[in-house]
Amino acid sequence: MRPRAEWARGLGPTGPLQQERPGDTRFLLVHHTASSNDYDPDDVPGLLRGFYRFHTGPDRRWPDVAYNFFVDRYGTVWEGRSGSLAGPVMADATGGSQGFAQLCCFIGNHQVEAPTPEAQRSMTALLAALADTHAIETAPGATTTFVSRGSNRWPRGTTVTTTTIAGHRDMSLTTCPGDAAYELVREVFPAAVTALRPTPP
């Protein structure tokens, strides 16, 4: 896990960030950046600064990078939104963020090409660690229910039931995290994540 300071070069939030209330982190949401899959390890900090500039710029006007954590193709996990290592900072997402989630994002485009094995292993470990921290059930078929704070898929006030490991397309009208990654979200990650977690007594 690489802290934000290792890529941000002093770039901080442009506005206030809020944390989820205790017990309100109920599911984990997987994204992809839809950017190139062809990059070297030394390129990653610059890529993250590019995402920051886009997310905080005139096209999005979010107060920081949208995602709590990034996973690169080499398996390195990076803290994204400021403060995410310390607690459940509320995130942003294209199409609206319903809240109640932590956002974990593959760096790359996974519409056709699946994340690398290294990225898959690190995403699995990241999801397991967050599920342990927030006491989220992750076994295949596990779901949670909440009242949406608003998105283009689930308008504010809609009661939503979702799997506890979900893809961005489950929450907004988007193809994210790409078909190849979404197959992992649905068919692989729940069992793989649960296998890494302590067995309940």
DSSP conformation class of 41: G
pLDDT, mean of residues 33-37? 98
Domain that includes residue 183, residue range: 5-10+20-196
Question: pLDDT tens for residues 128-175?
Answer: 999 999 999 999 999 999 999 999 999 999 999 999 999 999 999 999
In a domain, 148, yes or no: yes
What is the pLDDT, as a whole number, of residue 42? 98
| Residue 132, helix vs strand vs coil | helix
What would the two tokens of residue 104 be?
């974990």
In a domain, 116, yes or no: yes
Residues 6 or more apart in contact with residue 42 via CB below 8 angstroms:
none
What is the pLDDT, as a whole number, of residue 200? 65
Rounded CA-CA distance 173/79 in Å is 26
In a domain, 15, yes or no: no
- Omega within 30 of 0 (cis) for the link into 3: no
In a domain, 172, yes or no: yes
Question: pLDDT tens for residues 45-104?
Answer: 999 999 999 999 999 999 999 999 999 999 999 999 999 999 999 999 999 988 999 999
Bridging pattern class, strands 101-106 and 27-32: parallel
Find, among 65, 67, 63, 106, the residue nearest to 88 by Cα. Answer: 67
In a domain, 48, yes or no: yes
| Residue 159, helix vs strand vs coil | strand
In the chain, the number of structural domains is: 1
Find, among 95, 97, 80, the residue nearest to 1 by Cα. Answer: 80
What is the pLDDT, as a whole number, of residue 158? 96
| Residue 198 confidence (pLDDT) above 90 | no
What is the pLDDT, as a whole number, of residue 199? 75
Rounded CA-CA distance 65/34 in Å is 15
In a domain, 174, yes or no: yes
What is the pLDDT, as a whole number, of residue 117? 98
| Residue 201 confidence (pLDDT) above 60 | no
What is the residue whose two structure tokens read 């950046």?
Answer: 33
pLDDT, mean of residues 111-126? 98
In a domain, 88, yes or no: yes
Q: What CATH number does residue 45 fall under?
A: 3.40.80.10
In a domain, 201, yes or no: no
